[in-house]
Every structure is written in structure tokens, then in C-alpha cells.
A and B are shown apart, each in its own frame.
Chain A
């Protein structure tokens, strides 16, 4: 008798396919019901973002790889994300600390927070113009000087004002990343918290922790966000391995 669960190709499954059973191979399903809906998942993850910590000045940010920890099919997630960006509902930002870490913010949220932050400042007019003209038409993560001057007809001083207000960050001479104003503290807390949570997994016996147990643990002062936010982050960035066990998912440190 072959005790091992065999991988079965789709063509050999005679039974009626259950609705929403996305995984093609293997008998293990991941407990997610319904077809892949990235927007709903994004909204769920956004609730994990701590708004009070930043005094409501920052829009809710989710990292792109946090979605990978929930949905299995990364290619589908990527495709749906690019569709949402094409429609103008979602904005993606290069966060700067990792070449692959992208932050996602709903466009409406972003606009509201940026304008609220600009109340009473001299740069308000330029930022307004930027948000109205550039964001709806251009999906890029960065802009270079030619584009800003010729396509969008911004002057040099206006570009300086945009950098001062935090909407653009310097990438190198003559090109800028699109960015979220006042997001420096967010990045700092994220990296701090990520290191602390990873440390918690590493310090455990055998370098592994059950996911459910980690969620219950008390966090120290280094971890400013909700621990679930960090757990999605480290799973999605593949800093820990996810192993299915009979008592739930086990997170094991990947030591390289």
C-alpha cells in the first residue's frame, strides 16, 4: 500500500470539482474559499494597518508580498494587481529598503491623506496639480526629468516643491520615485518589527513556531504594528518557510 499522498493531475480527477478549489496538484487545500479576489484581500489586510500610530497622517499601506502569503498563485495575484493599477484604483510605491518590496495604497485614500497633509502649506497648489494631472494618466513608479518637464509641463521650482512636500523622493540625478509623504517612520517601524518577529521565531526551540501560537504571543516594545501584519510580511517575503502540519501551519526559519 502506498501511504504517501500522490500528486494527481487535474485530468484524472473524476469527481465534480468543488467550487473555488483553486489548487491543481496535491490533496491539501489551503482553507481559502472562493475564487481569487485580490481587492477583498487588500481591504482585509488594510485593516491590520495601525492608523493611530501615525496620527492618521498616513494612508493605509499594504506590502505586495503580504498578498503572496494568503494566495498561492503568485502570477494571478500579480495580474490582478496590474489590472487594478490600470484602472487607477491602486497605487504602487517602491519603498526603498528592498528592491522587491512594493507598497500598495488605494488611490482615493492616498489623495485624501496627501491633501489633508498639505492644508495651509504653500506647496498645496503644486501638489494638487500633480495629483490631478499625473496620477490618473501615468502608472509608473518613478519619473525622470524629461517627462516631468515636457509631458506634464512642471517647472524646476515646482519639482522642488513636490520633493519638499514628500510626494517625490530623489532616486538619482534627474529622476524621482513616487512616494508617500511622511512614510519614513513607517519604513523604520516595519524593519524594526520584522527583525523582532524573526528573532522570536529564531529563538524558539528548533527555530520553528506554530503560526497560531506566534499570533497569540506578547510583542515587545520594538514591534509597533499588529503581529499579524508582520507575520504576513515575513511569510510573503519568504524569510520563513510555511510547513503544513496537523496542528496548523508551522513557520520555520530559513537560515542561509
Chain B
């Protein structure tokens, strides 16, 4: 570690190298920390979590009881023991709360003044965070499984919505209307995701075992469908030709640079695809157990080398290396099935929520401070509770 620091100082190493090495070391050290806790507000399972991208300070969670909670993740108390408090809640007593379970929540990508939630009560609501009232409500004909807003879009403000219907709807935030429909799937659409690299590319996953990639500017159908055998028609039985999985596809995630796409399916497999040409990179992750009937939310790490993917697997979260498919570790701690997880890129922390109504924070193990013999023990009892980072280490005792 010191080697990296001196190399960075002397200019022998690129600054990015130190950052990558330290991020990777922190991700490999994730564990449950009894100092960090998240307020328990939900009375039924937690279905979805989202952390805002601007500051990384506020986290949204949506539950099976229709409740939406906003948490403050920042620790300003100066003490290591910290519970992430709920800042505000759209509870059962609110007039505008969703009637059934909330399936997806997402912050507005450009500021925290707004967030969007979609639920099994066939509506998608755009909320004002200040007043906690919906500014806009979109009605659909079937249960809404997921929605996603592009994190980089400047030219459009479309929300892609996947519902029980086979058509993927695109709703416009600026005009408040449903302006486009993407036809091509033959089953319910379980997951939609915009590419973080190109603002017009959208990937959708469905129960018909296919994943389609679209360019929303094109009027005719999808760009291509992901094929697990890469066009080698001989490998599959004839019904499984041109499918991404041998079962329902319920999880979609782009890597941070947008070059690769991960999909998980109920055939207990996870596949990594090259997002430019749709080819299966044939990385073999082994059996990734997947029994979810709705969407599964997977996430990837950010600026580590090698990159990691976090997949909820039963009641634990499995961590795999992205490009080699090696299972690094299983994070165990939930009492029931885990439904969603989200990676905090700045602090390398993982938040996961599940049916046991808990949101667990997986924090990198803090290196214990070296024990110093002289003087510090004598400074008084009140010092013991102060975080060593806030300790006064420069004033002299002689004055």
C-alpha cells in the first residue's frame, strides 16, 4: 500500500492505479458492520433500492407494502456508530401512496428534487421530493414490472416502462404523455435498462426468454436480439434458437462503461454480452440460482480492477468477477430472500434489501488503528468515543 502511495507521489504510477487498487481492496473486504445500520421502516419486503448519482447521499427504497422511504446515508455525527435515518416517507397514511407493491424506484438522474416510482397498481408516479406529492401519474393496463430513465440523456427525457403487456412503453417527462411503443416481445417485459454510454440505446428483457436491444430513434423494430449460442444454431433444440436464456430473463445490468451487458435468467445462468454487437462472451459463471418470478436487480462495481458483479442469490448476495466468472464470495446476512442490491461507487459500499424487510449495509472492513502506548490513554475518558480522524493531533501539550 505504501508502495502505491510513493509511486503515485513520485509520478511513477498513473493516479488511477492507486484508486483502482484501493477500491478493489475495499470491495474484497465487504462485510456486515455492527456500526452501520439502516432504519427499518418497511413492514413488508423491500423490492427496490436506488442511490442518487449526484452526491451519493440519499437512498430511495420501495417496498411490497407500497411505502417509499428516503434515507440519508451520510454520517455527520462524528461517531463511528451510525444509523441511516429515514428523512421522509410516503407511508400508508399518505393520500397518494401506491395501492399495491412498489416494484421500481429511481431518482431523477440530474437532481434529487424528483423521483419516479412504479408499482403493481398499474401506475407510475413522478413525485416531488419536497412536498411528497405526485406531479404526474401515468396509467397502464397491466402491472408495471420496471421502469428506467436514462442516466446520461440530454436530448430526451424518456422513461422506458416494462409492464405485463408485451409492448415496451416510452413516456415523456416533459410533455407527460406516452409517446412511443416498442413492439417486439412476445411475453411480459420484466426488465428495461438504458445504456450508460449512448443515450438512445435501450435493452429490454422478457418472459419469452429474449433480450432485445433497441435504438429509440428507429421506427422499425429492435436492433438485434441477444442469442446465447451466438448464431450457432446447432447447439440448441429448435425452440430455443435466438434466445438469451433457457427460461425467463429477469435481470439486466449494463457495466459502468456501457460496453458489456449482464443478463440473468430463471435457467440459473448469468451471461455477459458485448453490448455493441450482441455477442455472448461465453463467460461461465456456473449456477447462479434464480427463482424470482419478477425482476431481479443486479449491480456491478465501479472503477475496480477487476470489476465485480453482485447478484442476489436466495438469501445471500453472490459476488462474481465480471470477466472470468469466478465466484469471489457470498455475502450472508439476510434472513429471507434478497431482492435488490445497489453499489455506492464513492464509498465502495453495498446496500441490499430483501423479503425480511431489512436493508443491510455491507461496509469495507476498517483497518484497525495501531495501538500507541505513550500519552493518548491519559488524555481522558471523553477521547475514547471520538473518531481518531477528529482527534486533535497537532496542538502541543506544553502551552
Residues on B with beta carbons closer than 8 Å to the beta carbon of A220: none
Structural contact, A74 and B238, CB atoms closer than 8 A: no
Interchain nearest-CB distance for B13 vs A (Å): 11
State which of A7, A79, A142 has its C-beta within 8 Å of the C-beta of B28: A7
**Chain B CB within 8 A of A97 CB:** no
Chain B hits for A94, CB < 8 A: 235
A206 in contact (CB, < 8 A): no
Q: What mask results when residues 16 to 27 of chain A are scored 1 for a CB within 8 Å of chain B, else 0?
A: 000000001110
A-side contacts of B28, CB under 8 Å: 6-9, 25
Interface residue stretch chosen among B102-110, B176-184, B284-292, B386-394: B284-292
Assuming A99-B246, A142-B234, is B326 touching A9 (CB within 8 A)? no
User: Complex formed: what's the CA distance from A140 to B289 in Å?
Assistant: 29
In the complex, what's the smallest C-beta–C-beta distance from A64 to chain B, in angstroms? Answer: 10
Which residues of B, 187-233, contact A by the 8 Å Cβ criterion? 232-233
User: Are B287 and A238 in touch, CB under 8 angstroms?
Assistant: yes
If A12-B21, A25-B28 touch, whether A73 touches B326 (CB-CB below 8 Å) is: yes
User: Is there a chain A Cβ closer than 8 Å to B277's Cβ?
Assistant: no
Interface residues of B in 44-95 (CB under 8 A from A): none
What CA separation (Å) do A150 and B7 show in the bound complex? 64
Complex Cα distance A195/B284, Å? 26
> CA–CA, A50 to B240, complex, Å?
34
Residue of A4, A8, A77, A143 touching B234 (CB-CB under 8 A) = A143
A78 to B286, CA, bound (A): 12
Q: Given that A99-B237, A143-B234, A171-B238 are contacting pairs, would A9 and B24 also be in contact in the complex, using a CB cutoff of 8 Å?
A: yes
In the complex, chain B residues 1-46 whose Cβ is within 8 Å of any chain A Cβ: 1, 21, 24-25, 28-29, 31
How distant is the Cα of A244 from the Cα of B114 in the complex, in angstroms? 49
Expressed in whole angstroms, the minimum distance between the Cβ of A173 and any Cβ of chain B is 9
Partner of B283, one of A8, A26, A75, A171: A75
Q: Does B139 have its Cβ within 8 Å of any Cβ on chain A?
A: no
CB distance from A28 to the nearest CB of B (A): 12
**Residues of chain B with a CB closer than 8 A to A142's CB:** 233-235
User: Does A7 lie within 8 Å of B237, measured CB to CB?
Assistant: no
B328 at interface, CB cutoff 8 A: yes
Does B282 touch A at the CB level, under 8 Å? yes
Within 8 A of A (CB), among B351-368: 365, 368
**From B234, B238, B286, contact of A172 by CB (8 A):** B238
Interface of B is mostly: loop
A106 within 8 A of B: no
Q: Is the CB of A72 within 8 A of B246?
A: no
Interface mask (A91-108 → B, CB under 8 Å = 1, otherwise 0): 000100001000000000
Q: A7-B328, A8-B28 are in contact. Are A171 and B21 (CB under 8 A)?
A: no
Q: Which A residues, 152 to 195, have Cβ-Cβ distances below 8 Å to chain B?
A: 171-172, 175
Tell me if A68 counts as interface (CB < 8 A to partner B). yes
B284 lies within 8 A of A75 (CB): yes
Q: Which residues of B contact A175 (CB under 8 A)?
A: 238
Q: Quick check: A25 and B328 within 8 Å, CB to CB?
A: yes
Asked whether, in the complex, the Cβ of B237 is within 8 Å of the Cβ of A11, the reply is no
* Known contacts A6-B28, A24-B326, A78-B284; A12 and B1 CB within 8 A of each other: yes
Interface residues of A (CB under 8 A from B): 2, 4, 6-9, 11-12, 24-26, 68, 72-79, 94, 99, 140-144, 171-172, 175, 238, 256
Please give me the 10 A-B residue pairs with the lowest Cβ-Cβ distance, nearest first. A140-B234, A74-B284, A142-B234, A7-B28, A238-B287, A141-B234, A9-B24, A75-B325, A75-B284, A75-B283
Q: Which residues of B contact A (CB under 8 A)?
A: 1, 21, 24-25, 28-29, 31, 232-238, 240, 246, 282-287, 289, 291, 305, 321, 324-326, 328-329, 365, 368
Q: Could you list 9 examples of A-B contacts with CB < 8 Å?
A: A6-B28, A6-B365, A7-B29, A8-B25, A75-B282, A78-B282, A142-B233, A144-B233, A172-B238
